[in-house]
Amino acid sequence: MKKNFFIFFLALSMSFALTACQSPAEKFSEKASEKMAEKAIENAVGGNADVDVNGDNVNVNTKEGNVQVGEKISLPADFPKDVYVYEGTIKAVISNNSPKGYTVSIETDKAIADIKAAYEKKIVEDGWENTGVMDFGDSASISGKKDNRMISVMIGKSDDKTSIVLGVNEQ
Q: For residue 16, what pLDDT is reported? A: 45
Distances from the Cα of 33 to the Cα of 18, 26, 49, angstroms: 6, 10, 14
Alpha carbons 15 and 21: distance in angstroms, whole number: 10
SS3 88: coil
Superfamily in which the 73-171 domain is placed by CATH: Mog1/PsbP, alpha/beta/alpha sandwich (3.40.1000.10)
Alpha carbons 122 and 118: distance in angstroms, whole number: 6
Q: How confident is the model at residue 19 (pLDDT cuts 50, 70, 90)?
A: very low
Alpha carbons 22 and 16: distance in angstroms, whole number: 11
Mean pLDDT of 6-22: 48
User: Looking at 9-18, 86-95, 115-124, 133-142, which range is the least confident one?
Assistant: 9-18
Q: For residue 27, what pLDDT is reported? A: 53
End-to-end CA distance of the chain: 12
Mean pLDDT of 66-72: 87
User: Looking at 58-62, 96-100, 129-133, 150-154, which range is the least confident one?
Assistant: 58-62
Mean pLDDT over the full length of the chain: 81
Q: For residue 113, what pLDDT is reported? A: 95
What are the boundaries of each domain within the chain? Answer: 1-63, 73-171
Instruction: Kindly state the percentage of the chain with pLDDT values over 90.
Output: 52
- pLDDT tens for each residue of 139-168: 999 999 999 999 999 999 988 999 999 999
SS3 57: strand
Alpha carbons 149 and 132: distance in angstroms, whole number: 15
Q: For residue 75, what pLDDT is reported? A: 95
Q: For residue 26, what pLDDT is reported? A: 55
Q: For residue 20, what pLDDT is reported? A: 46
Q: How confident is the model at residue 23 (pLDDT cuts 50, 70, 90)?
A: low
Q: Is the pLDDT of residue 32 over 70?
A: no
